[in-house]
Structure 1
Amino acid sequence: MSGDMRALLCLWLVAQVALVAQVAVSSRLRTRRELGPGLYQHGVYDAGGSYCQRGDVCCRGRDDACTVPYHDTLCYCDLFCNRTVSDCCPDFWEYCLGIPAPFPKAPGCARAGRDYPPGATYRENCNLCTCGPGGQWQCEDRACLMDGELIDAINRGNYGWRAANYSQFWGMTLEDGIRHRLGTFRPSPTVMNMNELHMNMDSNEALPRHFDAAAKWPGMIHEPLDQGNCAGSWAFSTAAVASDRISIHSMGHMSPALSPQNLLACDTRNQRGCSGGRLDGAWWYLRRRGVVTDECYPFTSQQSQPAAPPCMMHSRSTGRGKRQATARCPNPQTHSNEIYQSTPAYRLSSSEKEIMKELLENGPVQAILEVHEDFFMYKSGIYRHTPVAEGKGPKHQRHGTHSVKITGWGEEQLPDGQTQKYWVSLGGAQPWGAAASPRPCGVRLDFFFGGCHRAERVPCPLCRRRPTRGARRGARAATFASPAASTSARWRLSWWGSGAASAWRTCPTSEPPTPPPRGRAPGPHTQG
């Protein structure tokens, strides 16, 4: 074959390849637009929307770049869009051609002056609303933690307290609030049948009308920590009360803010971490294992879940009940990993005056209360449960068990001249903080406390040993007896601060007298 023939053959082959490539490109273009399903198989969505007009675009012929965002896709403003299968923007015909759209308006839903296609969704507080096929919004009907109707009803009524809408609770269901913002299990019958510890006081002894632990012990009452969406009030309230008592009974020489995270992660015996726990279990762990400070082991906010995070703080016994940390602080910025321990928990008397004297002499106490649906809306005043949710049905009436730190009490004069008494409580589930702490009244409270206390209140003499040289350089020695200690011949006195800085010894005594049996009394109602 001559050279000219070979050249012509090569040119023909190149032309054929180019033709095939052009056909392939054309096929892809047709696949993208011409073979597409179009936008208006079921009518025009958002027919009154501004698309071509907003972008001020109307293109002649075919221009695949002449587009405007349309929901989750693109619409076109070129003449090519106006074909059998249309992908034009809703306002193309009126804005670019000056004629009505040839497609009917889709049966969408209107909201706030805009049209939405079927299947569109939005949230109304804790309820999800979906645009149905009939052009109507279909919304869930769940009880929300923040309920505007209840807030208005409480503020209109004469209930003695004000309600508010808290943005951090907006979008949560009432079920979520009860499940994730409380977290104390009801005490077992064994715990509820504990003998009440009574104060030595004269029945005619006068107590102040108002009391604030922070005013009596400045710098020793710790601010409440926010437990977030962790149902761990059992750990937060226990750590808070123990922290204050250590500060008070060491006369300020020790002022640790104990770690609730240490309890949440490491106290796993019949406890569920951020899904709830028992107060008696928390005090048992604080007595037998001890915890570090919140600075050493800070709280890690987490959603309530059955599986607790792994424990990152371990300790070992150094003899005679004391323990020493065997791990460094999870917070690498802190190096002090002292272990703080407590004496066993005990149940306070149901007498209002005895609880007040306990608080007055020894510091904050721990209480368990029933929380109802309106508790999360509290803003100011003396809280009491209201009946405003009764007219909305059973799903709007929920309650759960919560534990708080009681730091004081007071009285308030009502418009009718009567005096209303209340307790001042601090907890980790509320958004108001310490400045406007809830003052519950007419709420059932069961009072407990675990920790150090004064020796004259137990049938065992206080034993104290001369502090060692290390103790004098460190924290002040403070050893107290436990009312729940074993009734053996030798009572071990087990309150200390940390390390070798405290002195302690065992105290041989005779068998202490068995306290007389006492019937279970109902929790105090502080209504005046």
Structure 2
Amino acid sequence: MANFQVYLATLLLLVSISKFQLQVVALEPIPHFKSEPEILQGSIVRLINGNPKAGWKAAMSARFSNYTVGQFKYLLGVKPTPLRDLKSIPVRTHPKGANTFTSSVSSTVIIVPIKDQGHCGSCWAFGAVESLSDRFCIHFGMNISLSVNDLLACCGFMCGGGCDGGYPIYAWNYFVQNGVVAEECDPYFDNSGCSHPGCEPAYPTPMCERKCVKENLLWTESKHFSVNAYRIDSDPYNIMAEVYKNGPVEVSFTVYEDFAHYKSGVYKHMTGDVMGGHAVKLIGWGTTDDGNDYWLLANQWNRSWGDDGYFMIRRGSNECGIEEDVVAGTPSSRNLIKKFGNVDAFRDVSA
């Protein structure tokens, strides 16, 4: 009996010590995504570059050096539009006439350079804002870069979850209802050089302050609007006609593991699991010398990724869903006339 009591007391002591140790361990912060594998894999690079029929080249991109799969997935912030809402969104088509489109690249009118979304899942906002910025250049001859931060921070639940992802078409609705200020009024990067938002480790969505960082700029007067928000029919002709007539559009598509390794050529999915939905700016199209039709797009993963920040993807086969979720809007002269008082100066130069 005495031995049993000693055994029981020892057991209780060990349990107490174990609980104490667990409590101490629980107080230590758990590094975000630390235990996950890295997104860049040499085996994927070898598989792509060793296949002469791949049509594109892969590399270990410096942009994602030491990124885990979880960190990479976080950048893919497109949320699918609820089916119940799709019926209320107008779909634009373009009549097929005598004009045929062979190739077109809108780079002659693009004034927004390749950006970097940092660690934030803000691709849905970048694709929308950069497309609208270019459309202001095309339609009104304005050299302007609009603010991703305004859309990301101030659209709120209507657009989704900020750095945790959003809905591209609702971003364009925000342009119609609220407008978006210029980048110089509400910049994406803060003065410390940290990607804002998107600093380690919590990836916070910034607060909506509705105040320009420059004292001589007013928030309401810095707003630029869209007349409407619409989807473009998934027929490649309609997408080409839309870009040709009105400028770049925002597209969403499914990203697989191999896309993180893209370096050059016409991308098509070859290997790897689904990572998430991504939004970018589609600026043109063309056909390679060996007959591969492609779309040309500007990403926001810095110029260290891909072909100086750009990439091509197979056109005409809805590769990774690239042709089924295309959205845009018409830039408005609202606020421009009020600010400058000259209607003629802001007529639609693309008409």
**TM-score range relative to shorter protein:** 0.7 to 0.9
Q: Is the partner of 1:283 in helix, strand or coil?
A: helix
Q: 2:217 matched to which residue of 1?
A: 335
Equivalences for residues 381-396 of structure 1 within 5 A? 381-387=265-271, 389=272
The alignment yields a C-alpha RMSD, in angstroms, of 3.1
Structure 1 residues 127 and 296, CA, compared in 2 at 3 Å: closer, same or farther? Answer: closer
- In the aligned structure 1, how far is the partner of 2:187 from the partner of 2:266? 32
The answer to whether the Cα contact below 8 Å between 1:224 and 1:434 also exists between their aligned partners in 2 is no
The reply to whether residue 407 of structure 1 matches residue 283 of structure 2 is yes
Contact 1:274 1:306 in 2 (8 A): yes
Q: For 1:336 and 1:346, how far apart are their aligned partners in 2?
A: 29
Describe the superposition over 1:446-479 as per-residue Cα deviations: whole angstroms up to 9, x where unpaired.
243332179xxxxxxxxx9xx8995229952559
Q: Counterparts of 1:339 and 1:468 in 2: how far apart (Å)?
A: 11
Whether the 8 Å contact between 1:235 and 1:260 is mirrored in structure 2 is yes
CA shift, 1:258, in A, is 0.5
CA–CA distance in 2 between the matches of 1:161 and 1:434?
A: 11
Change (3 A) 1:474 1:266: farther
Q: In 2, distance between residues paired with 1:293 and 1:468?
A: 16
* Counterpart among 264, 267, 287 of residue 152 in structure 2: 264
Question: What do the CA deviations read for 1:210-252 (whole angstroms, capped 9, x no partner)?
Answer: 211013x3xx4422321011100111111001101111111x1
Is residue 2:169 matched to residue 1:280?
A: yes
| Aligned residue number for residue 310 of structure 1 | 207
Q: Which residue of 1 aligns with 2:137?
A: 247
Paired position in structure 2 for 1:443? 320
- Could you tell me which residue of structure 1 aligns to residue 240 of structure 2? 356
Alignment coverage as a number of residue pairs = 298
**Alignment CA distance shift 1:473-1:199 (3 Å):** closer
Higher helix proportion, which one?
2
What's the TM-score once normalised by structure 1's chain length?
A: 0.52
> How far 1:443 moved relative to its partner?
2.8
Matched AA of 2:328: G
| One-letter amino acid of the counterpart of residue 284, structure 1 | N
Q: 1:402 is matched by which residue type in structure 2?
A: H
Whole-angstrom distance in 1 between the partners of 2:166 and 2:339: 41
Please state if 1:172 is matched with 2:42. Answer: no
| Alignment match, 1:421 | 293
- Taking the aligned partners of 1:238 and 1:150, their CA distance within structure 2 comes to 31
User: SS state of the match for residue 374, structure 1?
Assistant: helix
Give the aligned residue type for 2:83.
P
TM-fit CA distance, 1:191: 4.4
Correspondence for 1:344: 228
Cα distance, 1:383–1:201 mapped onto 2, change above 3 Å: same
Cα deviation for residue 168 of structure 1 reads 3.4
305 and 262 in structure 1: CA distance in 2 versus 1, 3 angstrom threshold = farther
Deviations 1:322-359 (A, max 9, x none): xxxxx3x1245x63641111122111112111211111
Counterparts of 1:24-39 in structure 2, within 5 Å, are: none
Name the residue aligned to 2:6.
Answer: none
Counterpart Cα distance in 2 of 1:153 and 1:468: 57
**Map 1:315-326 → 2, pairs under 5 A:** none
Contact 1:423 1:440 in 2 (8 A): yes
Distance 1:468 1:438 in 2: 39
SS in 1 for 2:342: helix
Q: Aligned AA for 1:429?
A: W
Choose 1 or 2 for highest CA Rg.
1
Q: Under a length normalisation based on structure 2, what TM-score does the superposition of the two structures give?
A: 0.76
* Aligned-partner residue type, residue 296 of structure 2: V
Task: Tell me if structure 2 keeps the 8 A contact 1:224–1:433.
Answer: no
**1:43 alignment counterpart:** none
Residue 51 of structure 2, aligned match among 157, 172, 175: 157
**Residue deviations 1:386-422, cap 9 Å, x none?**
13x4xxxxxxx232001111000010133xxxx2111
Match of 1:64 in 2: none
Tell me if structure 2 keeps the 8 A contact 1:426–1:434. Answer: no
Gaps of 5+ in 1: 1-125, 129-139, 314-326, 390-396, 455-463, 481-528
1:424–1:440 Cα contact (<8 Å) kept: yes
- Whether the aligned pair in 1 keeps the contact of 2:294 and 2:312 (CA below 8 Å) is yes
Name 2:192's counterpart in structure 1: none
Q: 2:106 aligns with which of 203, 213, 221?
A: 213
How many Å separate the matches in 1 of 2:241 and 2:342? Answer: 32
CA drift at 1:172: 1.5
Matched position secondary structure for 2:284: strand
Query: Separation in 2 of the partners of 1:381 and 1:214?
Result: 18
Q: Give the Cα–Cα distance (whole angstroms) in 1 for the partners of residues 203 and 119 of structure 2.
A: 13
Residue identity opposite 2:105 in structure 1: D
The C-alpha deviation readout for 1:97-123, integer Å capped at 9, x for no partner, is xxxxxxxxxxxxxxxxxxxxxxxxxxx
- Greater relative contact order structure (CA < 8 Å, 6+ sep): 2
Q: How far apart are 1:151 and its partner, in Å?
A: 1.2
Q: In structure 1, what residue type is equivalent to 2:126?
A: F
